[in-house]
Chains A and B, each alone.
Chain A
């Protein structure tokens, strides 16, 4: 029972940040049709911002880093979209070609971003102390930092789904992801919505990065690992489905933690790929895919 609780809660803690990463990637793909290989670099960037702020000796809570990291990543993503991707979309004869080209371009951005990060922060893993105590839940010792991270991540997930379902902008984002041409004929400015969604995806990556840094170490090369996990979750949950990304995030978090607890963490990614393999045979559109 205690082991069950331990695995479940820790799995949800890991899954909550996974959900944020995947939600961001899903938002970028859903409307802008960009499968962003550089997604993880923005997560690392936000983590570095948080780390730097902690080292600065200002004594600020690490959550404060959101105020800094979100606008930075938003701006970079927005500018990337209107300079590179928008142009790429104009030059691509059709959507399929654009999607392929966009992946290649994002690979390029990934290499540039990763090298810049490495130049700035070096190769050594980074970690700062945060809420080092643990909480006893039904006999299982759970890290307080982990619980805090999960709480904030869930709040962000809830706020984002409310934004999508209740606001005019949120509805137009959903409409554009379901039928962009029909949305355009109703007055939705597709080009701005695409840039905005790409940048919102960036914000979600930034949130994930800030939260991630509170409970685990990271280094300049961690980004691709985050991207891989986000891609797996997005495929698991259903391409472009935000609710699917949340569900997939938690599932993968729990599965991953179970594997690393009972077997070894090196098998985690192989198990993830096995899940995807089975999924692609049984339900290729993903759990909540259209």
Chain B
């Protein structure tokens, strides 16, 4: 059974339909990628999973149970964590406080001290700078902190929106390496990206979305050899 499954999802903003019959599966322990251009419907799809948007039809199943129509807090509680595009840290709070906010939900708050220690073990750079304000960090470090904050609630599934956006190639590489490391620890990751090549290099499975429809899906590495993908997304 898949950890998360979308079945025939349709989503509209008023009269404008944004997602059409989307079917998608994320298996436990895998890195699954969703690729697509700006405005293709990637963030809409994420918002549907996190409960911020309600689908007009279709089902979202998490661990076999329907979660569409639940409010976002119930979904966080069940173990889905969402890292928004652009890291979205709290700039005037310290690194430690940002991490604490990752455990804001009542269910996780009491265990926040152990979780912070766990994050410091995973990202040692954060411990060295725990008293500094988040706004003093570089782009790559911010993304590390954002990932750590998303992991504070011990999620079964992490949704990462545009992790590499705005990072230098070197930083982007470091961030993707971290995702690989999380994967090795058994965390399930749903990567939503524009950086096609690096994403496909680490993804176990990938979907391509265009104009609100899933137009292609396959194992990550075979997609790199697909002519259409090479032409439309890699420009080779």
Contacts and interface: CB of A to CB of B under 8 A. Distances in A.
Interface of A: 168, 171-172, 174-175, 178-179, 181-189, 290
Contacts of A181: 84, 88
Contacts of B97: 171, 174
B90 A179 contact: yes
Interface in B99-114: 100-102, 104-105, 109
Given A171-B97, A172-B104, A175-B101, A185 B72 contact: yes
Contacts, number: 58
A182 B101 CA distance: 10
Contacts of B101: 171-172, 175, 183, 186, 188
Nearest to B76: A187
Nearest to B90: A178
A187 B76 CA distance: 7
A174 B97 CA distance: 10
Contacts of B102: 186
Given A182-B90, A186-B102, 5 more contacts: A168-B109, A172-B101, A188-B101, A188-B104, A290-B91
Contacts of A189: 73
Contacts of A184: 72
Nearest to A187: B105
Contacts of B92: 174, 178, 290
Contact of B73 (A172, A182, A187, A290): A187
A290 B72 CA distance: 29
Contacts of B82: 185
B10 to A, nearest CB: 23
B188 interface: no
Contacts of B93: 171, 174-175, 178
B164 interface: no
Given A179-B88, A182-B84, A185-B82, A171 B76 contact: no
B50 interface: yes
Contacts of A188: 101, 104
Interface in B64-108: 72-73, 76-77, 82, 84, 88-93, 97, 100-102, 104-105
A182 B145 CA distance: 14
Nearest to A178: B90
B101 to A, nearest CB: 5
Contacts of B84: 181-182, 185
A262 to B, nearest CB: 38
Contacts of A185: 50, 52, 72, 76, 82, 84
Nearest to B51: A185
Given A178-B90, A290-B92, A171 B100 contact: yes
10 closest pairs, A vs B, by CB?
Answer: A182-B88, A187-B105, A178-B90, A186-B104, A175-B90, A187-B76, A187-B104, A175-B101, A185-B82, A187-B73
Contacts of B88: 179, 181-182
20 contacts: A171-B93, A171-B100, A171-B101, A171-B104, A172-B101, A172-B104, A174-B90, A174-B93, A178-B90, A178-B91, A179-B89, A181-B84, A185-B72, A186-B76, A186-B102, A186-B105, A187-B72, A187-B76, A187-B104, A187-B105
A181 to B, nearest CB: 7
A225 to B, nearest CB: 31
A174 B90 CA distance: 8
Interface string B152-167: 0000000000000000
A189 B102 CA distance: 14
A186 B105 CA distance: 7
Contacts of B72: 184-185, 187
Contacts of B104: 168, 171-172, 175, 183, 186-188
Contacts of B90: 174-175, 178-179, 182-183
A187 B102 CA distance: 9
A183 B93 CA distance: 12
Contacts of A174: 90, 92-93, 97
B159 to A, nearest CB: 10
A173 B141 CA distance: 24
